[in-house]
Amino acid sequence: MTFLYLNSDQMGSGGDPALGKKLLKLFLEKLAASDVRVDLVGCVNSGIYLTSEGSEVLESLKKLAEKGARIATCGTCLDHLHLNEKLQIGEVGNMDMTIQVMAAADKIIRP
């Protein structure tokens, strides 16, 4: 099983945030258009903005879902940032799920 772990709304850290967001958007577009199989996309921390209203990557996530990927967003994060009502794709996950998936995954992709 391949797990795409998105713990930020940016690719990389310590640099220009706008560049980080641009890079992650491009990464997800290219991944969605590729033959790489992703079984589960897990979004935590600021990564939850990717599955929420206003996200610029919803189309890429929809394409991954159409190819069979489950999309899960951290429920604790949604509660903390008051974004429960703004979730646009996938399901609400939890830490037990994250632990199980990370332990069972053959591959974890973390851009």
Domain containing residue 64:
2-109
CATH of the domain at 81: 3.40.1260.10
- pTM, full prediction: 0.94
- Sign of torsion, CA 26 44 94 73? negative
How many domains is the chain partitioned into structurally?
1
In angstroms, the CA 87 to CA 70 distance is 14
pLDDT 10s digits, 30-72:
999 999 999 999 999 999 999 999 999 999 999 999 999 999 9
pLDDT 10s digits, 4-18:
999 999 999 888 999
